[in-house]
Structure 1
Amino acid sequence: MAETFYIEELENRFRDQKTVSIEELYQFYKEKEPDLPRSTLRWRIYELNNKAILSRVKRGVYKLGSEVREWKPDISKELKTITSKLQNEFLYLTFCIWSTKWLLNFTQHLPTKYFTLVDTERDTEESVFYCLQDIRKDSGVFLNPSKDEVHKYLGSSENPLVVRSLISQSPLMTVNEIQVPKLEKIMVDLVADEVLFNAFQGKELKNIYSNIVNKYDVNLSTLKRYSLRRNKWDEVKEFLKETNEQILG
């Protein structure tokens, strides 16, 4: 890698600069390889970012070193309570849980409402729905809410809980013994379920994508595989092109 990427020379050239533009990087590599195509430059930037040699400051601007880190969301007491309830009631149930409050780290504006989501394996949704009604008597619990239900009831409920079907082979991980979605799943679901996540669409969704990729390690293969399962790869790819094109290589 060092021979292809000229890492030592790269660091020597730009070590006294706070930031380096994509044009400066392009000219640096053109000095080494005059016929270097732009597509190769994007791939190199992506690889340098993965190796913690470069990190993205904003579109077209980078700096030496990396602040990209592994994502570990906060597991609230409520999420622990819901998980414990489901684990006690359904011994072998496969599900994941998360809150839209987690998106606050990536948004520009503060949503007025938040909700909790439980994605559970196929054919268990109704049983999980009735189980969770026991611990959510004072706030709404919704089962695969329709567009009409989202607009009429979800927005007026205080901290609603949404039970949905878990897509097979969803990218999940365990944090503090609680199974939660990986960032790649959240990114795709925000695109695929635009009615449910209507508060996070448009420019806000671009902010979310940009901030996630800049702050955390996103696995492109995982993102693509899950988005293909949801038939949303073209849409996801377009968001990446607009916000973080270098991840596409």
Structure 2
Amino acid sequence: MIETRAAILTYAENRESFRFADLFSYLNGIINISKVTLSWYLREMVKDDILFKLGRGIYTSRQHQSTCYTPQLREKALKLGKRIGGTFPFIKVSVFDGQVLADFQHHLSSNNLIYIEVEREAMESVFHWLKSERYIAYLNPNKEFVYDNIDISKEAVIVKPLISESPLTEIRGISTPRIEKILVDILCDDDMDYLHGSEWHYILDHVMNTYSVNRSTLMRYASRRNAKDKVGKALENLNTHD
């Protein structure tokens, strides 16, 4: 195993990037290896952050090739997050702007919702405060309610529970989901049902091939959402389509 990994790494380090087919041809001049076995080695080396995927069947050993995803929040979302934080200073709040989903989608759809995640025991208080402040707000709606009653192209606020140990980052003092959380939440949340199925697999493929994603963080959060097997299998399928 070590000799095979070393041969792959030597090949990779002498190139900016390489294709699966070219590596396979190279290795077959040195060792006897099948495409299935090589796919397994590459998958493990990507998982261990030794190699990085640039695209379908394209790899590099240079981590800087991957772009860090920088979350965005429009001013309305930032302002709302600050108002909630000021009104409820002792609760943890995460703000997600539905407009950013267009960056990942294959079939574009306009999402102007703002998603506010708070600790479960604070959800109703935040929801009622939003209503009192004249926001159009919905409290943790299921997918049937979303399809029947919510036009995601219009501005509104969805209040939902914040899962403990969620991967978050900050924009101007406001917590917002990291890319690992976004990927899992799209898969798991009822209010994201319109992005489930093939669209989610496209989003996963696009994000994994475009941005630097911490797989350990992704899988840890997926486990907290009871989606570890689904996410793990989807990642394996990406890595075997070389």
**Bin of the TM-score, shorter chain as denominator length:** 0.7 to 0.9
* More moved, 61-70 vs 197-206: 61-70
1:87 equivalent in alignment to 2:92: no
Count, aligned residues: 235
Cα distance, 1:28 vs structure 2: 2.3
Of the three residues 58, 62, 74, the one matched with 1:61 is 58
The unaligned stretches of length 5 or more in structure 2 are: none
SS in 1 for 2:54: strand
Give the match for residue 217 of structure 2. Answer: 222
Q: Within 2, Cα distance between the matches of 1:105 and 1:156? A: 16
Between the aligned partners of 1:239 and 1:230, the Cα distance in structure 2 is 15
**Alignment identity in percent?**
26
Q: Deviations over 1:113-149 (max 9, x none)?
A: 43110110120001111122244x2x52000113332
Alpha-carbon RMSD across the aligned residues, in angstroms, is 2.8
User: Residue in 2 aligned with 1:24?
Assistant: 22
1:190 correspondence with 2:186: yes
C-alpha separation between the residues in 2 aligned to 1:212 and 1:242?
Answer: 15
Distance 1:240 1:8, change over 3 A: closer
Contact 2:96–2:114 (CA<8 Å) still a contact in 1? Answer: yes
Residues 47 and 215, structure 2, Cα contact 8 Å, conserved in 1: no
Residues 133, 32 of structure 1: CA spacing in aligned structure 2 closer, same or farther, 3 A cutoff? Answer: farther
Distance 1:243 1:26, change over 3 A: same
Alignment-derived partner of residue 166 in structure 1: 162
Separation of aligned partners in 1, 2:236 and 2:199: 16
Structure 1 pair 23/229, CA: closer, same or farther in 2 (3 Å)? same
Gaps of 5+ in 1: none
Range moving further from structure 2, 33-42 or 198-207: 33-42
Following the alignment from structure 1 to structure 2, what is the Cα–Cα distance between the partners of residues 5 and 176?
Answer: 45
Asked whether the equivalents of residues 107 and 207 of structure 1 are also in contact (C-alpha less than 8 Å), the reply is: yes
Q: 1:174 to 1:32 in 2, by over 3 A?
A: farther
- Calculate the TM-score normalised by the size of structure 2: 0.83
Aligned to 1:206: 201
Once superposed, which parts of structure 1, at least 4 consecutive aligned residues long, lie more than 6 Å away? none
- What per-residue deviation string (whole Å, max 9, x for no partner) do you get for residues 18-49 of structure 1? x74312212323444435832123323555xx
Aligned partner of 1:73 in structure 2 is 71
The residue that corresponds to 1:146 in the other structure is 142
Please tell me whether the aligned partners of residues 213 and 244 of structure 1 are also in contact (alpha carbons under 8 angstroms).
Answer: no
Q: Would the aligned equivalents of 2:181 and 2:218 in 1 still touch at CA under 8 Å?
A: yes
> How far 1:8 moved relative to its partner?
5.7
Distance 1:168 1:60, change over 3 A: same
Tell me what 1:43 maps to. Answer: 44
Amino acid at match of 1:153: N
Rounded Cα–Cα distance in structure 1 between residues aligned with 2:103 and 2:239: 17
Q: By how many angstroms is 1:222 displaced?
A: 1.0
1:158 counterpart letter in structure 2? K
Q: Residue by residue, what CA displacement relative to the aligned partner does 1:220-248 show, whole Å, maximum 9, x if unpaired?
A: 111111111111111112322333459xx
User: Relative to structure 1, is the Cα distance of residues 45 and 159 closer, same or farther in structure 2, using a 3 angstrom cutoff?
Assistant: same
User: Would the aligned equivalents of 1:210 and 1:244 in 2 still touch at CA under 8 Å?
Assistant: no
**Superposition pairs of residues 107-186 of structure 1, within 5 angstroms:** 107-135=105-133, 137=134, 140-155=136-151, 158-186=154-182
User: Displacement of 1:157 after TM fit?
Assistant: 7.3
What residue number does 1:232 align with? Answer: 227
Asked if structure 1 preserves the Cα contact closer than 8 Å seen for 2:92 and 2:118, the reply is yes
Name the SS for the 1:124 alignment partner.
helix
- 1:200 and 1:54 map into 2 onto residues whose CA distance is 26
Q: Is the 8 A contact 1:111 1:199 kept in 2?
A: no
- Stretch deviating more after TM superposition (36-45 or 139-148): 36-45
> How many angstroms apart in 1 are the aligned matches of 2:100 and 2:6?
39
The 2-side partners of 1:116 and 1:244 are apart by 33
